Amino acid sequence: FDAMNMEAIFIECSKDLRKQRHIYIECIPIPSDISSDVPIYFNKAILEVGKDFTRDNKRLIKTSKTKNLRQSIPDNFPYFFVQFGYDFTGFVHIIENESKFDYNFGREILGGLLQLPPEIYLRKRYSNYQQQQQQVKNFLKIWEKYDWTQILD
């Protein structure tokens, strides 16, 4: 993303663990010039969402290289996690009321920061086979100079 003047934001949501084990992970590129605002937006949003449900738990848990996600919350707890770039800094929020916590929480925060209309960041995009093939070709063009597997041949 550096070559495109973008930063990677990773969002992860794990909930409904009793019904099925499912974790939703996404990497969203954002312009580098606004990347310093992302922690501020998520800090505010997590504290606001947490005040309605949290009784005894900390609403916002900070992560770092020395205290990562797995060291920050107990196993099998539902959570929302955001990581800012590649240095392992981020925030974790333990989800207490899973029915009221939307999987799109992280997308909504980033969509608001980027001032995008909801139909852009919430819309599920379905592609036919030809569109998927073209998307793969486009990605491979970008990935080509970083593809370490080429040296294996």
CB proximity list for 5: less than 8 A, separation 6 or greater: 31, 32, 33
Tell me the pLDDT of the chain averaged across its residues. 84
**Taking CA 118 as the corner, what is the angle to CA 89 and CA 22, rounded to the nearest 5 degrees?**
55
Instruction: Assign 56 a pLDDT band (cuts: 50, 70, 90).
Output: low
The CA–CA distances, whole Å, from 74 to 23, 57, 83, 140 equal 15, 12, 18, 38
Query: pTM of the prediction?
Result: 0.77
Residues 6+ apart with CB under 8 A from 101: 13, 15, 49, 78, 80, 95
Looking at residue 32, its pLDDT comes to: 92
Can you tell me the distance from the alpha carbon of 24 to that of 14, in angstroms, rounded to the nearest whole number? 6
Q: Name which of 46-60, 83-97, 130-144 the model is least confident about.
A: 46-60
- What single letter denotes the amino acid at residue 118? P
**Rounded to an integer, what distance in angstroms lies between the CA atom of residue 151 and that of residue 147?**
8
Say what the pLDDT of residue 113 is.
Answer: 93
Alpha helices in 1-153 (DSSP H): 38-53, 69-72, 105-113, 118-121, 129-143
Residue in 93, 83, 81, 98 with CA at minimum distance from that of residue 30: 83
